[in-house]
């Protein structure tokens, strides 16, 4: 949809971004002092550009994800994918996945779809467009590079949630239950990058209150 926005309009709003400090993993009371989850994708390197296949310019399927060992006592996991570079007050939510079994260490390509599309699996919640499933990256032309931040959370318990939980419900549910967290960033852009500082010069994303290195 946003591929039709003229590049000059995107450039006008190049400096308007939600901000990395508003990511779920960076919020106070979520992931201070927890173990790091090593998250990667066989489809793109950390910090690298997402292949078109996973965006609105391609098939628009969700990318495959793989993660390492989880902390002892993990009852299950949640995954939130956000775009903190969206020209919106809050990061744009591209995916919410709830109740991933603790013994699962991967999500296959295209796995983040509406619950009704699969017979079994974790609960896929609502993205910022209020639909279940993966919201393909679709940044405005000329707005510069956007970070798409994949954030897994290992949880000590999994409270019952309504069907199709959204970001706010997930944040409330994981607060006080996070044993481990991780960060994987893929990027995407259309047209020329903006004149604002590149993400190479930006502060790394880290859990709120963390004195150690960023989860990445």
Ordered by start, the domain boundaries in the chain are 2-194
Q: What pLDDT score does 154 carry?
A: 98
What does 19-42 look like in DSSP terms, one character per residue? Answer: -GGGSGGGSTTTSTTPEEP-EEBT
SS3 content of the chain, % helix, strand, coil (to 5): 15, 25, 60
Q: Which residues make Cβ contacts (< 8 Å) with residue 33, sequence separation at least 6?
A: 207, 209, 210
Report the share of the chain in percent with pLDDT over 70. 79
What digits encode the pLDDT tens for the residues 103-127?
A: 999 999 999 999 876 666 789 999 9
What is the C-alpha to C-alpha distance for residues 183 and 212, in angstroms, rounded to an integer? Answer: 14
Neighbouring C-alpha atoms within 13 Å toward the C-beta of 23: 32
What digits encode the pLDDT tens for the residues 29-76?
A: 999 999 999 999 999 999 999 999 999 999 999 999 999 999 999 999
What is the C-alpha to C-alpha distance for residues 106 and 68, in angstroms, rounded to an integer? Answer: 9
What does 199-216 look like in DSSP terms, one character per residue? Answer: GGGSPPP--TT--SPPP-
Domain spanning 2-194, CATH class: alpha beta
Residue 115 phi, psi dihedral angles, 5° rounding: -55, -35
Q: Which residues make Cβ contacts (< 8 Å) with residue 134, sequence separation at least 6?
A: 60, 61, 62, 81, 94, 95, 112, 113, 127
Task: Note the pTM of the prediction, 2 decimals.
Answer: 0.83
What is the C-alpha to C-alpha distance for residues 90 and 157, in angstroms, rounded to an integer? Answer: 27
In this predicted structure, the answer to whether residue 146 has a pLDDT above a threshold of 80 is yes
């Amino acid at each position: 949809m946003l591929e039709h926005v003229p590049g000059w309009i995107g450039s006008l709003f190049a400096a308007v971004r939600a901000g990395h400090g508003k990511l779920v993993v960076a919020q106070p009371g979520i992931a201070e002092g927890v173990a790091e989850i090593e998250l990667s994708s066989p489809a793109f390197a950390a910090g690298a550009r997402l292949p078109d296949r996973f965006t609105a310019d391609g098939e628009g399927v969700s990318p495959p994800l793989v993660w390492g060992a989880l902390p002892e006592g993990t009852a299950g996991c949640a995954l939130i994918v956000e775009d903190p570079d969206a020209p919106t007050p809050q990061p744009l939510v591209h995916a919410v996945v709830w109740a991933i079994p603790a013994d699962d260490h991967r999500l296959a390509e295209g796995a983040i779809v509406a619950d009704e599309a699969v017979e079994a699996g974790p609960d896929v919640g609502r993205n910022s467009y209020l639909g279940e499933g993966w919201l393909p990256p679709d940044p405005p032309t000329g707005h510069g590079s956007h970070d798409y931040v994949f954030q897994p959370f290992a949880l000590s318990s999994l409270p019952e949630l309504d069907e199709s939980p959204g970001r706010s419900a997930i944040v409330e549910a994981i607060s006080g239950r996070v044993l481990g967290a991780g960060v994987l960033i893929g990027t995407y852009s259309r047209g020329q990058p903006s004149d604002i500082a590149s993400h190479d010069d930006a502060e790394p994303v880290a859990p709120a209150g963390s004195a150690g290195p960023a989860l990445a």
